[in-house]
Amino acid sequence: MSDSIIKPAKRTQSITYAVRDIVVLANEIAKSGKEMLYLNIGDPNLFDFEPPRHLIEETYKAMLKNFNGYAPSSGIKSALEAIEKDAEKKEIKNIQDIFITTGASEAIDICLTALLNEGENILTPTPGYPLYTAIQSKLQLYENPYYLDESNGWQPDIDDIKSKINEKTRAIIIINPNNPTGSNASRETLQKIIDIALEHNLVIFSDEIYDKLLMDGEKHISIASLNPEVPVITFGGLSKNYMVPGFRIGWGIVSGNKNALKDYIEAINKLLRARLCANHPEQYGIAPSLLGDQSHLDVAIKKLTSRRNLTVEMLNSIPGISCVEPRGAFYAFPRIHNIDDDKHWTEELMKETGVVVVPGSGFGQLPGTNHFRIVFLPPEDILEKAYRAISQFHEKYMNKFKVSL
C-alpha cells in the first residue's frame, strides 16, 4: 500500500476560525478535571435564553405535515413575504431580491462567491467576524482590512477605508451591530460609507444578524434604508434575534439600482439553485418569528444590559485592561495593554483559570494592539466569577512577564 499523503488544496491553508479553534486546547485542559468557564461561543441557547415558543410550534407543525422535502431554491413564499415586511419596517428601499439560506453564513458565502474573482478584494472590518476572511481565503482573494476606531466607540474608520481602496476593490463589508466589539454604526458613518460605495462602484454587504439586540434604547439603522440606489445585500437570520442558531436559517436581501444589480442577482441565483435549497421545515418558523410576538426580545435585552454593565464595570476596574462599552449583540472586546501576544495571554488564562475567551488576533486588530473577546451571555454569577479570575490572573501574568501596569 502506498503511504503517499493526500494533499489538501492550498486555498484551505490560511483558513482559521478562532472561536472554535480555541476549543481544541480548552477540551485538552478540561480532561485534567479543571472546571471550565466557556465565554467563547455566541450561542444564547447554552445559557438562559430561549426562542419564542410559537417559532418552535410552527416548525414542528410543518414537520408533522411532512413539509420535509426540498423547498424552492430561494425559499418558501410565506417566509420570503415575512422577510420583505420586516425589511420594509427597517425602511430598506428598492428591494430587488430575497433568498433564504442555511444560516446567514451560507448567504455570505454565496454572495461573495458570486461577485469576486481571484485577486480582487473586499474592504473587511477589522476587528470583524472571522467567517469573512475564511471565505476570502477560499476564493483566493487578498485581504484588505479596514480598521474600526477603538477611540471612537469602534466606529469604522472612514479615512482608513478611503486609503485602502484600489482598482481591484469590489465591495465593502459592514457588520452592524458588530461582532466582536458590540458597536452600532451611526447614521453619519453609514452615510459616508454609502458615498464611498457609490463613488467607487462597490457593493455593500451589511451583516445585520444582531439588529434587534440593541441596548439602552439605541436605534439600529440599516444602511440600505439610507439610499435607494446603492447596491446593498443585507444579511439577517434567526440565529441570534430569535435564538435558534441550530436551525441554520438566514437570508440575504438585495436592494439598490435594478439595472446595476441584474447580472449579479442572476449569478447569486445560479448558486442558490445549484445547492437546491435551505433547510425546509425550519423556514416555517420565519413568518411567526418576524411577524409574531416579540416579547422575548425585551426579556433578552434586559438580561443582556445588566450583564453588559457588569462586564464593562468589572473589566475596566482591572489595571491594564480597558473595555469600550458594547451597544448591541452580546460581545465585548476589551484591550489588554502592555502585552505582546494575546494568543499567549488567552492560553495562559485558560490553563490557569479555566476561563475560555478568544484572542483578539482571531478577529483581526490594529497591529500593536492586543484584545480578547468575551461573550457576556452567561448569568451574572458566572460572569463575576470569570472576571474575578481574569483580574487575579492578569496581575500574576504581568508580574511573571515583568510588565509594568
Chain contacts with ligand PLP (rule: CB under 6 A): 42, 103-105, 129, 175, 179, 207, 209, 237, 239, 245, 250
Q: How far is CA 142 from CA 78, 81, 165, in A?
A: 39, 37, 13
Least spacing, CB of residue 186 vs ligand PLP, in Å: 18
C-beta of 105 vs 155, nearer to ligand PLP: 105
Least spacing, CB of residue 346 vs ligand PLP, in Å: 18
Distance separating alpha carbons of residues 360 and 351, to the nearest angstrom:
18
Least spacing, CB of residue 359 vs ligand PLP, in Å: 17
C-beta of 19 vs 314, nearer to ligand PLP: 19
C-beta of 101 vs 144, nearer to ligand PLP: 101
Distance separating alpha carbons of residues 197 and 171, to the nearest angstrom:
8
C-beta of 83 vs 398, nearer to ligand PLP: 83
- Residue 371, Cβ neighbours under 10 Å: how many? 29
User: What amino acid occupies position 248?
Assistant: R
C-beta of 146 vs 393, nearer to ligand PLP: 146
C-beta of 120 vs 207, nearer to ligand PLP: 207
Residue nearest to ligand PLP (CB): 103
Instruction: Report which of 372, 357, 400 is spatially closest to residue 39, judged by C-alpha positions.
Output: 357
Strands 144-149 and 155-156: antiparallel
C-beta of 97 vs 109, nearer to ligand PLP: 109
Least spacing, CB of residue 387 vs ligand PLP, in Å: 22
Distance separating alpha carbons of residues 197 and 204, to the nearest angstrom:
7
C-beta of 59 vs 353, nearer to ligand PLP: 59
∠ CA 401-403-405, nearest 5°, is 135
Q: Cβ(329)–Cβ(347) under 8 Å? A: no
Least spacing, CB of residue 319 vs ligand PLP, in Å: 30
Least spacing, CB of residue 184 vs ligand PLP, in Å: 13
Cell numbers that stand for 348 in this block = 495562559
183: Cβ contacts below 8 Å, ≥ 6 apart: 148, 153, 154, 155, 176, 177, 324, 326, 327, 328
- Among all chains, which residue has been given the C-alpha cell 473586499? 122
Least spacing, CB of residue 108 vs ligand PLP, in Å: 7
Instruction: Report which of 253, 254, 193, 266 is spatially closest to residue 223, judged by C-alpha positions.
Output: 193
Q: Cβ(208)–Cβ(220) under 8 Å? A: yes
Least spacing, CB of residue 220 vs ligand PLP, in Å: 14
Least spacing, CB of residue 246 vs ligand PLP, in Å: 9
93: Cβ contacts below 8 Å, ≥ 6 apart: 224, 225, 227, 228, 255
Each residue of 41-74: b (16+ CB within 10 Å) or e? bbbbeebebebbeebeebbeebeeeeeeeebbbb
Distance separating alpha carbons of residues 75 and 79, to the nearest angstrom:
7
C-beta of 353 vs 361, nearer to ligand PLP: 361
Strands, sheet with 95-102, edge to edge from the N-terminal-most edge strand: 95-102, 249-255, 232-237, 203-207, 169-175, 121-126, 144-149, 155-156
Least spacing, CB of residue 338 vs ligand PLP, in Å: 29
C-beta of 318 vs 356, nearer to ligand PLP: 356
